[in-house]
Chains A and B, each alone.
Chain A
Amino acid sequence: AQSVTQPDIHITVSEGASLELRCNYSYGATPYLFWYVQSPGQGLQLLLKYFSGDTLVQGIKGFEAEFKRSQSSFNLRKPSVHWSDAAEYFCAVGAADSNYQLIWGAGTKLIIKP
C-alpha cells in the first residue's frame, strides 16, 4: 500500500539548534517528493521538492532534504532553526508521471524553545 509516515507528531528544539524531520514512504512507482510547511491559520507552502537528479535538494528558508532511495526516506533538515520556523511540516509523495494524487504524511508540529 502507498503511504507516507512522519513518525514524530511533535518535535521541540531550541532556537539555534539543528533540526531533522523524518519522512518515510512506501510507493510503487518512481516518486516525486515534497515538503510543505503550514503556519497557524494559513495554507500549506512548498518548501522544496525532489523530482530527479541530485538527491540533496535545497529549499526556501534555509531548509534542505535528502532523498535516500535505499531507505525510502526524504528527511528535512535545517542547521539552525529560528523562532519563525515554528509550524507544522508535511511530507508528500506523488508519481513521477504527473499523477495529481499526492499521498500526505500526518504532519510534524515543530515547537521552538527560546
Chain B
Amino acid sequence: DAGVIQSPRHEVTEMGQEVTLRCKPISGHNSLFWYRQTMMRGLELLIYFNNNVPIDDSGMPEDRFSAKMPNASFSTLKIQPSEPRDSAVYFCASSRTGGSPLHFGNGTRLTVT
C-alpha cells in the first residue's frame, strides 16, 4: 500500500498564476478530503468527496478554488488565480468511509509570491 500520494511536494508560483495540486487516494477508499494547514488557522477542511461526488465544499474559500475527482483514483485542487494568502500546506486524505480514520498524504507546500 503506497499510501495517499500527492504531487508536487513543493510549489512556488507568482500571484495570478494557476496552480493545480494532485492526489491519488488509497485504493478502495471511498472518501477523499482536501485540507489546508496554516499557522494562523490550523487544519481546515476544504472539500469532501464520497464515491467521487463532492458532498461538502463549504470550506472552499472562494470561487478561485475548485476541486474535481474524475475517478476513484485521482483528484485535483485548482487555484486560479493564486494569491499570496493562499500560501499554505495542502493535504489530501482518504478513508474507507466518511467516518473512518483518515490517511493523509505528505502534503503540497504552496508558496505564492
Interface residues of A (CB under 8 A from B): 32, 34, 36, 41-46, 49, 90, 94-95, 97-102, 104, 106-107
- A85–B105 Cα distance when bound, in Å, is 20
Given A100-B33, A104-B42, A46-B101 contact (CB < 8 Å): yes
Q: What is the minimal beta-carbon distance from A114 to any residue of chain B, in angstroms?
A: 27
Most buried by B among A32, A42, A43, A107: A43
Of the residues A43, A97, A106, contact of B105 by C-beta under 8 Å: A43
Does B55 lie within 8 Å of A100, measured CB to CB?
Answer: yes
7 extra A-B contacts, CB within 8 A, seeds A44-B93, A100-B31, A107-B42: A34-B101, A43-B93, A43-B107, A46-B102, A46-B103, A100-B33, A102-B45
B56 within 8 A of A: yes
Mark out the residues of chain B between 13 and 64 whose CB falls within 8 Å of any chain A CB in the assembled complex.
31, 33, 42-43, 45, 48, 50, 55-56
- A94–B4 Cα distance when bound, in Å, is 22
Which residues does chain A contribute within 8 Å of B45, judged by CB atoms? 101-102
- A101–B33 Cα distance when bound, in Å, is 10
- A11–B50 Cα distance when bound, in Å, is 37
Which residues does chain A contribute within 8 Å of B50, judged by CB atoms? 100
Which residues does chain A contribute within 8 Å of B4, judged by CB atoms? 43
